[in-house]
Amino acid sequence: MNEKLQNILLYAQIGVSILVVVSILLQNRAEGLGKMFGGGGEVFRTKRGLEKFLHYFTIVLTILLIVISLLIYKYVS
């Protein structure tokens, strides 16, 4: 594998990993520990606005991270 391409993929993986962590940390900051275990009264509610964007953005970033990781694995082996 070309070393330049390998470095680009590694830096992209680091960048996407940081974005995944940040997008996860930005989601639902105000929820307490009770909601985590099923309490809080709300079983389902619709995501709107920024919350919806962050949800889909996190999914896209996670898929991108998996693809980059598989590409690195394929070309390094």
Q: CA nearest 26: which of 42, 44, 49, 3? A: 49
| pLDDT of 70 strictly over 80 | yes
| Model pLDDT, residue 76 | 82
The CA-CA-CA angle for residues 8, 5, 1, to 5°, reads 140
Q: What is the pLDDT of residues 3-58, one digit of tens each?
A: 888 999 999 999 999 999 999 998 875 555 555 555 555 556 677 788 889 999 99
- Kindly report the pTM of this predicted structure: 0.74
Which residues of the chain form beta strands (DSSP E)?
A: none
Q: Provide the domain limits for residue 45.
A: 3-76
16 token code pair: 């996407």
- Round to whole Å and give the CA distance between 45 and 21: 24
Q: What is the mean pLDDT of residues 63-70?
A: 96
| Model pLDDT, residue 30 | 53
How many domains is the chain partitioned into structurally? Answer: 1
